[in-house]
Structure 1
Amino acid sequence: MKKTGFGFYFFLALFIFIVMFPFIWVFLTSIKPVGEIFSSFNWFTSNPTLESYESAITSRPLFKYMLNSFIVASVTTLIALTFASFTSYAVTRLPIRFKGTILGLILASSMFPQIAIISPIFNFVSDFGLRNSYLGLVIPYITISLPLSIWILSTFFQKIPKELEESAKLDGATPFQTFRKIIFPLATPGIFTTAILTFIGAWNEYLFALTINTEDSMRTIPVGISMYQSQYAVPWGDITAATVIVTIPIVVLVLIFQRRIVSGLTSGSVKE
C-alpha cells in the first residue's frame, strides 16, 4: 500500500510538473536580465529584475490590448450563451423531429478550419464597415463559439428529469416559463462551464483578430503580443512578461469559479 501511494503521488507530481513547465519557464524568463536570457539557459537567475515587465507595459499599449480582448470575449460569451441556451432547450426538451441530425449538423459546422472561412467573413465584415471595431470580431467569434456552446449545453439539458417539465405544464406554465424558472437554474453549472470555455476561446483567438483589426488601438492580446518583435530582434523578456501579465486575469477567473466549473464538468457526465 505504501509503495502504491508513493508511486501515485510521484506520477501525479511528474504530471503536474510537465503540464506547468511552460508556465514556470515563461515566468522565470520574465524576471531574468535581458542579457542573461540569451547568454545562458539556467533555470534561476541570481539577479532577478522587473525590467521586462516595465518594458512590456511601456513599449506597447498592453493594457489596451487586454481591454479589447476583455470586451470582445465578454460580449461574445454573453451572446453565444443566450442563443445557445434557447437552442439547446428547444432541441433537447421540445418535441422536435430529427434532433440527432440537427445536433450533428451543429457540431459539424464547428469543424471547419478557420483559414477556410476567413475569406468570406473578412469580405462580410469589410462590406459592412466593421473592420477595426469590436463588433467586427464578435461576429466571427460567435460563428466559432456558438456551435460548441450548443453542443455542450445540450448534454446538461438532457440530464434534467423531464418530470419537472411535466409538472410545470400541469401547473399552467408556458415553455418559456419552464425554461426560465426550472431548466435554466438547474443547468447553471453547465452554463458557467460553457461560459468559461467560450470566454477563454475568444480571449486566445488569433487569426480573425490579426486579419480584421489592423489598427494598433483595436488589437487584442494574442495579436498585440506578437507585435513586440521587431525586424532584427525578438524581445523575449518583454514577451514573457506580457504573457505573465495577461495570464493573470484568466487564472483569477478560473479560481473564482473553479467550484462551479468542476460541478458543471461532473454533473454533465453523471446519468440521472
Structure 2
Amino acid sequence: MSNKTNAGTWIGFVLILVWCLLPVVWIISLSFKGPGETGAGSPQFLPSEPTLQNYRDILGIGKVTPGQEATAGDFIDALRNSFFISLIATFLAVIFATLAAYAIARLEFKGKRLVLTMALAIAMFPVVSLVGPLFDMWRTIGLFNTWPGLIIPYMTFTLPLAIWTLSAFFREIPWEMEQAAQVDGATSWQAFRKVIVPLAAPGVFTAAILTFFFAWNEFVLAISLTSTTGSRTVPAQLSFFVGPDPFNPPYGTLAAASVVVTVPIIVIVLLFQRKIVAGLTSGAVKG
C-alpha cells in the first residue's frame, strides 16, 4: 500500500507539474519563432528555426526589424515604469501596513473590528467597478497618466491583504519581548523597530512580495488610467503591440515580452520562497 501511495503521489505531482508548466514552455518556444512560423496554419510546438530577433526587437539590441524601432523604445519605457511604480507602491504599502497591523494586533481601541471589516471589504471590491470613478477623479485633480495615479490605487488594493498578513505575525510575537526591551531602556518606537519588526520579517517580506506582484501584473487600472508611455506599465503596453494588420498579431514579439516580464517574478520567488511560505502559513499551527 505504501508503494502504491508513493507512486500515485508522484504521478499526480508530475501531471500537475506538466499542466502548470505547459503554457510557460509554449510561450518560451513561441518567443524563439519568426513571423513566418507563428503565422503558419499549424505551427510546431518547438521552433524549427530558432531566432533571437523577437528579443532584439523589444529590447532594441542589435539589428531591429524595420518598423519595430518604436516598439523597442516603448517597451523599455514601460518596463522602467513598471519597476519604479511597483517598487514605490510596495514600499509605501508595507510601511503603512506594518504600522496599522501593529496597532491592530497590540492595541485595544474602539472600532478595531470595524477597521478590519472595512479593510476586508475594500479587498473584495472588484477593480473594474472603480475604474470609472477613478478616471473622472484623476482627470479632475491632475493625476491621470501619472505615476501617483497608479501608485495610490495599487496601495489601496494591496493594503488590506498586507494588514491581515502582518497582523497575524504580530499576534504570534510574545508581548513580553517588547516589554523586556522597554525595561532595558528602549522607547516604544525603538522596541518596535529593533525587536518587533525583525521578528516579523517573514510577514513583512510576504506582504512586500504580494504587493509587488499585484502592481507588476495589474492591467485594468494601468490601461484605464494612462494614455501615453510616460506612465504606462508593461501589461498595458503589451496590448499596443500590433502586427502588420489586425489579423496577424506579433505573437513572437508578445511571447518574448511576456518572458522578459516574467523573469523578475521568478527570480524574486526563488530568492524569497522560504519567507513567502513562512508568511502565508503564519498562524496555521499554534504552539
For the aligned pair, the TM-score class normalised by the smaller chain equals over 0.9
Tell me whether 1:142 sits opposite 2:155 in the alignment: yes
Aligned to 2:235: 222
Query: So what's the TM-score if we normalise by structure 2?
Result: 0.88
Aligned to 1:161: 174
Aligned to 1:271: 286
Aligned to 1:73: 86
Which of 44, 47, 69 matches 1:45?
Answer: 47
Aligned to 1:239: 254
Moved more, 214-223 or 185-194: 214-223
> Contact conserved, 1:92 with 1:99, CA < 8 A, in 2?
no
1: CA distance, partners of 2:227 / 2:111:
43
2: CA distance, partners of 1:113 / 1:2:
47
> Contact conserved, 2:165 with 2:280, CA < 8 A, in 1?
no
Deviation at 1:163, TM superposition (A): 2.2
Identity score, percent: 42
Structure 1 counterpart SS, 2:45: coil
2: CA distance, partners of 1:259 / 1:152:
16
Aligned to 1:213: 226
Aligned to 1:55: 57
Summarize the Cα distance change of 1:163–1:144 in structure 2 as closer, same or farther, 3 Å threshold.
same
Tell me whether 1:197 sits opposite 2:210 in the alignment: yes
RMSD across aligned C-alpha pairs, in angstroms? Answer: 1.9
Moved more, 81-90 or 105-114: 105-114
> Contact conserved, 1:34 with 1:52, CA < 8 A, in 2?
no
Structure 1 counterpart SS, 2:39: helix
Deviation at 1:188, TM superposition (A): 0.3
Tell me whether 1:64 sits opposite 2:104 in the alignment: no
1: CA distance, partners of 2:217 / 2:84:
13
Aligned to 1:88: 101
Deviation at 1:172, TM superposition (A): 5.0
Structure 1 counterpart SS, 2:230: helix
Query: So what's the TM-score if we normalise by structure 1?
Result: 0.92
Summarize the Cα distance change of 1:266–1:113 in structure 2 as closer, same or farther, 3 Å threshold.
closer
Aligned to 1:175: 188
> Contact conserved, 2:146 with 2:230, CA < 8 A, in 1?
no
2: CA distance, partners of 1:171 / 1:207:
51
> Contact conserved, 1:165 with 1:178, CA < 8 A, in 2?
yes
* CA deviations over 1:159-188 (Å, ceiling 9, x no partner): 112222333344454432321122111100
